[in-house]
Structure 1
Amino acid sequence: MDLPTPAFFPSLTDGGEVGALMRMRDWAGSSLGAPDTWPQSLSSVVGLMLNSKFPMFVAWGNDFTFLYNDSYADILGAKHPAALGGRFQDIWSEIWDDVSPIVAQAMDSKASYFENLPLTMHRKGYDEQTWFTFSYSPVRDESGKVAGVFCACTETTGQVLAERHQAEELQRSKQIFQQAPGFIAVIRGSNHVFELANDAFIQLIGQRDIIGKPVTEALPELRGQGFLELLDNVFATGELFVGRALPAKLQRAPGESLEERFVDFVYQPVRDARGVVSRIFVQGNDVTDAVRANQALRDSEQQLRLLANTIPQLAWMANPDGWIHWYNDRWFEYTGSTLEQMEGWQWTGVHDPAMLPAVITEWKRSLATGLPFESTFSLRSANGEYRSFYTRVAPLRDSAGNLVQWFGTNTDVTALELAQHELRTANRRKDEFLAMLAHELRNPLAPISTAAELLKFAGLDQERIRQTSNIIARQVAHMKKLVDDLLDVSRVTRGLVSLQEEVCNVGALVADALEQSRSLVELKQHQLALDLPGQPCFVKGDPTRLIQVFSNILNNAAKYTPARGHISLRLHAENNLVQIAVQDDGIGIAPALQPHIFDLFTQGERSPDRSQGGLGLGLALARSLVDLHGGSV
């Protein structure tokens, strides 16, 4: 049955859910009594409260009987609706020690206001840290005596937590800024005033006070070195500038001479809300040691020459739990992705699937232990190519040693790995060549040694002495041929061969080359076919070297053609060019060997009837000599 509503208290006819609960309740037995007996001041406050969308409550009388509106019911949580008509001190017993002095102050006719007051409440079944902004005001009865406390409040827990999180993020960014391995600075305005600079930047320039000063004042030695002009251009055009291993002469200590350093750096324009360039973000690395080391190694192995070039880096940052929340522009340029596609653990999408499980295992181990991460793995580029990257991830810690961030870099080492492979291949070829050289030089020694022993015996007839001497002469000639080939290759590769050029009849040179190769051709009874033009062909070249080229190619054909095989040589002239083609029906060239037949020390499989030996230098020497003549093989 609905209770009657006094004419002077129309607020109980509305007021939402709490208003309905008030109408349904029998207040006669409460300390407040029936609503028609309530003081006008209480009725007015309740009416105001029930019709407000702002959280409010009133605590009335000596028992501080608690009345509130719908908006405050949300703050009560599980305490609602039992709290309606209860005692303030019982409802909020967990915070009574905090608020009772404020209540007492209001009962003493003194209003109060608090902003973001922390309170630990138990309203959802557990203790919860909250913050509130509120005011307590005294409420008087008809006699003018303070009979209750009125509160208008708002919960600011979310706002406080957000502000704290923002402050922590700002602090974290400052720590990352200062601890970043590369130098960073922010330059403001067209006169280029230093606004920010991290420790690495200060260390680079030599512990100078630069904040608030123009670059020309802070670093006057940069005048005339091109950096100021670059800053002017970036600020005026808004175009990014990237420098690689550029020299910068800096006075890193007062009174000392300028020291040359080499830096990789980026001038990144920063635009304001209007799209106008207002600042320049400077980020880079001091690569002096790398540049100097690479300079010293430039004339050594190919892999060291590759290291002389500065390697662009990809970089990223992650929360302590491994959630990656930031990548630099180079990461996005290389992968062709966006932050939305890479945030968190989505970076796995650009990893080589075959290597990914091991990478994740090692990364999780670092997350669990807080230790640095180092690994080399492949990353897919925007065009689908996988390149190998050396990756190092460092934990960044606050002053208390707590891990607050991870900072990682990826350095492209694909070229280095290729160079290392080529070096291993070159070393293997060298070892194979040395073994072959020892074998080839040792073979003639046996007959020479035997012949020498025979010559010790007295009474040898002249014919036997002549035969023995011929053996020694042949083997010495063979060894001389090996040594001559080695010397020729050495001179060609070092650029010591100078051509004695003259106008030559190519047909005559071919005839001389055939004469040099005739013994080898006749030894295996090869059938040699010649296809020469009816008219002489003349070229400008070194006749001795050209004969050597033709002879080497013919010898190679003879060595790899079985007995009684066929060899043909065709001389053809057309369009001021002379072409010589040698063809045989020998054992052929294995597919794997074909790309390398003109490389030094390359030989095909030796067959039992191929006893002439050799060092695999003939074709390589032939190509080098032809190249010197401006031709091709």
Structure 2
Amino acid sequence: MGALMRAYDWHNHPLGDMEAWPLSLKTTLRTILNSSFPMFLWWSESFYMFHNDAYLPALGKKHPDALGASARDMWSEIWYQIGAVAEDIFQNGTQFYAEDMPIYLDRKGFIEETYWTFSYSPAFNDDGQVAGMFCSCKEVTDTVLNQRRLKTLKDVTEALTLVSTLEEAGEKACAIMSENTSDIPLCGIYLLEEDSGEARLLGQAGIMLHETLLERPSLKEQGIADPLLQVLETRKPVLVKYSDLVADKTKLTAEQQDLPVALLPVALPGQSRVVGIIVAGTSSKLDYNTNYEDFHMLLGRQIAISFASVHARSETERRQAYMSEIFMQAPVGITILRGPEYIVDLVNPGICEIWGRTYEEVIGRPVLEALPEVADQGIRELLDGVYTTGVPFVANELLVKLDRNGKLEDVYINFVYQPMRDEQGNVIGIIAVAVGVNEQVEARLKIEAMNKELLATNADLDNFVYSASHDLKAPISNIEGLMKVFVDFLPHENLNSPDLQKVLSLIQHSIDRFKRAIADLTEVAKVQREDNHDVARVNLKQVVEDIQLDFEPQIKEKQATIETNVSPEAEIEFSAKNVRSIVYNLLSNALKYSSPARLPHIVISSELTPEFVILSVADNGLGLNPDDEIKIFSMFKRLHDHVEGSGIGLYIVKRIIENAGGHIELETALDKGANFKVYFKR
């Protein structure tokens, strides 16, 4: 500015050449020009303007015409505001100081809202008379605007803290924003529906009283598709005219039509989807600069956070309602007992039914006060143990006497006492989950009694079979002896009669069958009465080889192939004769029930597991229908009648192995053979 002052044509200016200027004016100007702080001097009663470089931003487009011009003319737009102050200082030598004073300047082609902190003081000539006005000033527009906008953000944040619906959030946010009409002369908040793609108005304020065109299904016809899509894609504000958003533009004033409006994205940081749009009017007296845009972005982000909070709160409430519904409908009894006095905090219908109390009778009371009859039944001690140690307690079929239906009843309960802890891990109560099991206990006791009775009956039956098998031996022996005596008394010529021989043969055959039946009964009785006595270390491989030698004639007769894969380590603690009986019966059946369509092929193998030694006898014989698997192990049950047999072999095998803690399995299919697996317990 020093160079500009020196180059100025002062000769034709009312102040005249610089050489003729008063010393006081030159001194003051020297001070101003050498200062980096904004300063100006208005000299003479015409207030001719002088200023330094630091003051140029305040002049804006008025520079360089402001130098030497009258302040009355150059600042005509604000003279109504500062003129009287300046005149008073010039006339009376007073001083003036203002802080954060709003001044509306025309320095950028529009009337701009600005804020200043400044002081006016008189400037003196060489005679000590007031000859002008000196000003030291600082623009604080950004500071004031930031404070104002921060307050709006703070108020919006506080207002949206406890909102419960999106509509409430939209209405409250617009109400707060409408209090800052300097930055937001109008506003509307829209939610972009994710499913339908429509924009739903949640709230509006200011002069926004007309139907807007912010409806996504017909954006192309409405003419705002490009700006809105730009917001959705860039997630940054886009400026449009308010008239672009209104269906009936005839209802708008000229000022409203040209009002700049920002479309602001409502989106959470880190999320790609824009969940809403804020239509925010902008001030016609401010530049839409970076600070303004940042304010809008923060506003949109805060509203987005509120939307997310509402959604999260709604989801939490939904889950809580769902959990409450589950709690109330749970098929078990649940209660929460708070504190060392075990105050009943929560109960569901299930626990009330077990206790025989109503909700009103127990809620909010110590549980031992609500159920006084259990005070001396050890319940307090169980609760104290869980509360003090923090170790859960589980009870099955605990008998508790409860006052239900006006009398003490025996109630069997399965329950768990689970300690409830706070965030620091301290036990603050007990969660009790209980199930009444009276019916199950009664059924179990009834079954136990029936089993006991059945065992007694089976024992009697075993004794009867054992006794009958022995008692029948003598009569059949007598019959057989009498038959021999009868034959000996017959004349020799009669013995050669074919008819007599046939009758004698039939009688003898019946006697032999009766003897075999008695022998089978005797064997069954032995199996049912004995308890795997004479236990010794038995090697299955050796037993299989011995039994195989016993069947050598049958094997040759049937041209059977026996494949043996029994491990030498397949050893068990078992009765040796019972093991032989098992292997004998299985190998006998494999040979006996071979298929006439193919030569017998029998595989005997073993498998060792940690719990069992498994012996398998598999053949390619007749096999069985899988539906008959259960029948095959029944007493006197035979499914193939073309060969001789009593039908007790597999029954005996099953009883022997089960009496020793093992079991037998069968894999079979009709005409595909059978595979018997005997599980000997190790």
- With normalisation by structure 1, the TM-score equals 0.37
Please identify the structure whose Cα radius of gyration is greater: 2
- With normalisation by structure 2, the TM-score equals 0.35
